[in-house]
Amino acid sequence: MRRKSRIAQQRARNYALMGILFIVAIVIVIGGVFWWMGQRPQPLNPITLCPAQGPLGHQVLLVDRTDPFNQAQKAAFDNLTKDMVAKLPVGYLFSVFVLGDDFKTETKPLIELCNPGYGQDKSELTQNTKALMNQYKSGFIQPMEKVTTELLTSNAAKESPIIEMIQLVYLNSIQANKTQGPVTLYILSDLMQFSTAFDMYKSSPNFEKYQSTYLAKKLWVDLGVVDVHVILLNNNIKNESPAFLNFWNSYFKHANVKTLEITNLPG
């Protein structure tokens, strides 16, 4: 009787162990399913290729084409835009605006796409990295290259309403695409404002005088969330004067920009 009792106890322990192992196996399987589902890509916006929850950051390029580029500027611009697109972080939105020969019809971005990534940090076990690369090239890189190449041949314009365009870029892109991430506005321009309301070619600009006008109040924008990087085109000797630089430094300071950087485009 004692021997049968021991056998029954052993059998009970074996059953208990098998039950525990079965439960552990179920937990592992369920955990694996949840892990695999967590590794699957979240759906992207089919139009912008941005994450479903919105862009993780935003970079905006405003290109002033009111004057034609010379050959050196064309080469520098081509290098600049290719570098900006290639280095755009995954999930960041990239918007391109042009200030050209028809200001009134160029108030919307020429293109506005997020970098969807090309699977560089993904595994073939959970994602089709070849499809991600195809999406990256055909859906992001190629459209961006097409737009930036076309900008090189844009026509010159009769007016250069840069301040008006900065306001429209803010309203139609920066404010319209709210993001918790960093926002950078790149302005490629000689910054020589020329419109019927405000002409920098007539005399040296004075920010205090400009600030007292109705135009200044009408065109003011709050760029408090924006880092601004001006890439200055050397198209006019006037934009090298202290008065010119003082005006734009004061303008961006009054607009509350987070940071301001001014560099020159070669050529």
* Whole-number pLDDT of residue 43: 83
Q: What is the pLDDT of residues 200-215, one digit of tens each?
A: 988 889 999 999 999 9
* Whole-number pLDDT of residue 180: 86
> Which residues pair with residue 64 across a beta bridge?
99
Average pLDDT of the residues in 96-114: 86
Given a contact cutoff of 8 angstroms between Cβ atoms, the answer to whether 234 and 264 are in contact is yes
Token pair belonging to 31: 């955990």
* Domain coordinates in residue numbering, the chain: 1-39, 57-264
Q: Which CATH number among 1.10.3720.10, 2.40.10.340, 3.40.50.410, 3.40.50.720 corresponds to the domain 57-264?
A: 3.40.50.410
* Whole-number pLDDT of residue 91: 96
* Whole-number pLDDT of residue 37: 42
Percent of the chain with pLDDT over 90: 59
Q: What is the pLDDT of residues 127-180, one digit of tens each?
A: 577 888 899 999 999 999 999 998 887 767 778 899 999 999 999 999 999 898
pTM of the model: 0.81
Sheet holding 259-264, edge to edge: 111-114, 92-99, 57-64, 183-189, 226-232, 259-264
CA separation for the pair 111, 107 (Å, rounded): 12
CA separation for the pair 198, 13 (Å, rounded): 91
Q: What is the pLDDT of residues 36-79, one digit of tens each?
A: 444 455 689 999 999 999 999 999 999 998 888 999 999 999 99
CA distances (Å), origin 116, targets 49, 104, 132, 139, 141? 6, 31, 8, 9, 10
pLDDT over 70 at 246, yes or no: yes
Listed residue (138, 128, 226) closest to 185, CA to CA: 226
pLDDT over 70 at 248, yes or no: yes
Q: pLDDT grade, residue 187 (50/70/90)?
A: very high
Instruction: Quote the mean pLDDT of the chain.
Output: 85
CA separation for the pair 228, 77 (Å, rounded): 18
pLDDT over 80 at 120, yes or no: no
Least confident of 18-27, 81-90, 217-226: 18-27
CA separation for the pair 124, 139 (Å, rounded): 21
